[in-house]
Structure 1
Amino acid sequence: SFKISHLEELFASTAYINHVYHIARDQAGCRMLQHKLDEGSAEVFNAIFSEVLANCVELMMDPFGNYLCQKLMEMSTPQQLQLVLDKACTALVRISLNMHGARAVQKLVDVVRTTPHVPRLVAALEGSVVALTQDPNGNHVVQRCLEALPAEAHAFIFRAVANEVVEVASHRHGCRIVQRCIDAAKGPDRHMLVGAICRSSYTLVQDPFGNYVVQYVLGLREPQANAEIVRSLLGRLAVLSRQKFSSNVVERCLQLCSPEERLAMVHELADPRSLGELLRDVFGNYVVQSALSVTPEPDLSFFLSHVRPLLPSLRANGQGRRIAQKLEKKYPQLRGSIERGAGGAAAAGAGG
């Protein structure tokens, strides 16, 4: 790092021009270079620009140099931006994966969007979209592309995400990118993304991050998509309702699907072979409660008729007792099941 007295000496003349690379990597020096740019001399801008250009890949990833790079990009002509791309394109993914570099690349996206250079930027990132979506820095570059680039330039992101939807959506950062893609996509692109998620929904609902992506699609309330998601879960509801992540999606399906799909789910959940286990399960009992709360008559009576015989055994432990009390409070028609159960047992005993 430079002593402030040495910096002042360099900036007193044009001597600093020969040391731009090193000065830009110093906190105070970088600020002084930015002040020089603010003074508005074309000669000074061109001199600093050519020095930075020679080392722009390193400086874009530097804790201080990246700020100078961003300022230069903001002030550059389309021709000068072309020179930056000439230098940076081959390393653009590496820069995007760097904490400081990601900021510089986001600025590059902002300034390139109104120039003819968008296809070059896209070509530099195109093969690495999945890696970028999963990176704590790179995912911000992908998000900026979705926010800033013209709509026709988004297709490379949509394609990559749709082709690897399980890998991207099952990731802490990637799951957010998938949701942003759905927001940004229109027409066939949106259809492609939603379709890819629906086809993989059985896998995604069981994932800590993927389940949120499926819930996001359900929230769009697109009948065809919701029907496809429900179809992929039917036949497996007893297992999915007892898992932490997928049980949330089953509840969401019950709330958002069509009456016909809901009825199919209710009939499966009411199956006496698995209903008792669901009621006793830490996640499954919430699914049953959700199903009951959205089921209208006469199907509600059908469902409750399967719940009623299970209440005596449910009361055998503390958690089960609480669930039984909650159900009887909400559905008074279940009350008396204990007495009937006890009476039946006594009669059977007397008969023996």
Structure 2
Amino acid sequence: MPSSKGSKVFAEAMDRYGWQSLHQKLQGGKPKDIQKIFSKLKYRICKLMFHQSSSFVVQKLFEVCDEEQMDQLVFSVTADPALLMSACLDPQGAECMKKFLECIRASEQISHMIRFFSHFSVPLANDQFGSLPLLVAIGRNISIIAVSESGSYLLRAIISKDRPEGFILMWIMMHASHLSTEPFGNYVLRHVIGLEIPCLIEEIVAKWSGVFHGLSMNKYGSKVVKKLMKASKRKYAPQIINDIISSPKFSTVLVDPFGYSVLQTAMKCSKGTVRKRLHDLIRQHSELLNRK
């Protein structure tokens, strides 16, 4: 807990002029000075974020802390969720949190912060200042976020048709093939497909031309293919279905449990000559189904 000496350093950090002394010591980079200031301020980090003078000290402290000290700060700043949320929604506090997120490095630290943000993603994303640290966290760590359970939830919560974040969607589209076969990444991709943004669906369908049969036999990829057909019934579903039934491995797709599920969805999403061709092919291979 904070000591009386800690209170003195805290007051110095808050002082209009005293903060400069602390800032200079941190800038000097002497481990002894850094540790002394760190030990006095680590429990009060969030409170210091709200004030202009002390925020300079806090941001410099983030820059000079080693990994072990940052570990302690990660748990310190998230110890009081209400206080941290208030800091993120404050102009000065948001800048400090942005700096903090830029300075954390260890994967455990990143994961801990992402789990925290996943619980408050909507109010943060919809706030002028709160969205700043949130997007920094995502931008720096999106490759980790997109394939984790809490990160997947976070991305889905902040990406909407009315407010698609360009750089996030760009990254998702670049890594769509990888995300489609990930246990949590596929949820992110299906969410983006569900927005039914024409140019994104067109890009995915074009990118996956010739590989839909393989994705259809993957536990997670099959869910993405089904979502894609449902979201593009009129325009791209026929193209996807034709890609699958034209494959020399169609019979393999038919007897695969995930592939068969995709073909069932294909029947519901198709009509006319495409549906008839699919239906006829399934009948031609009916003996294979009877062996299942």
Global fold match (TM > 0.5): yes
Cα distance in 2 for partners of 1:96, 1:142 equals 19
Does 1:266 pair with 2:233? no
- From 53, 78, 102, the equivalent of 2:51 is 78
Contact 1:126 1:157 in 2 (8 A): no
Q: Which runs of 5+ in 1 are unaligned?
A: 1-19, 23-46, 321-352
Contact 1:85 1:121 in 2 (8 A): no
The 5 Å alignment of 1:81-230 reads 82=55, 85=58, 89-90=62-63, 93-95=70-72, 97-98=74-75, 101-104=77-80, 107-111=83-87, 113-128=89-104, 131=107, 134-141=110-117, 144=120, 147-148=123-124, 150-151=127-128, 154-155=131-132, 157-158=134-135, 161-162=138-139, 165-183=142-160, 186=163, 190-230=165-205
Structure 1 or 2, whichever has the larger Rg, is 1
Cα distance in 1 for partners of 2:9, 2:270 equals 67
Cα distance in 1 for partners of 2:228, 2:247 equals 21
Counterpart amino acid of residue 58 in structure 2? L
Question: Under a length normalisation based on structure 2, what TM-score does the superposition of the two structures give?
Answer: 0.71
Across the aligned residues of Structure 1 and Structure 2, the Cα RMSD in angstroms comes to 4.0
Q: CA deviation at 1:138?
A: 4.6
Q: Which runs of 5+ in 2 are unaligned?
A: 12-35
Counterpart amino acid of residue 306 in structure 1? L
Contact 1:250 1:287 in 2 (8 A): yes
Contact 2:10 2:41 in 1 (8 A): no
Q: CA deviation at 1:206?
A: 1.0
- From 215, 218, 226, the equivalent of 1:240 is 215
Q: CA deviation at 1:181?
A: 3.8
Cα distance in 2 for partners of 1:273, 1:77 equals 64
Question: Under a length normalisation based on structure 1, what TM-score does the superposition of the two structures give?
Answer: 0.61
Report the equivalent of 2:231: 256
Paired-residue identity, %: 17
Report the equivalent of 1:299: 274
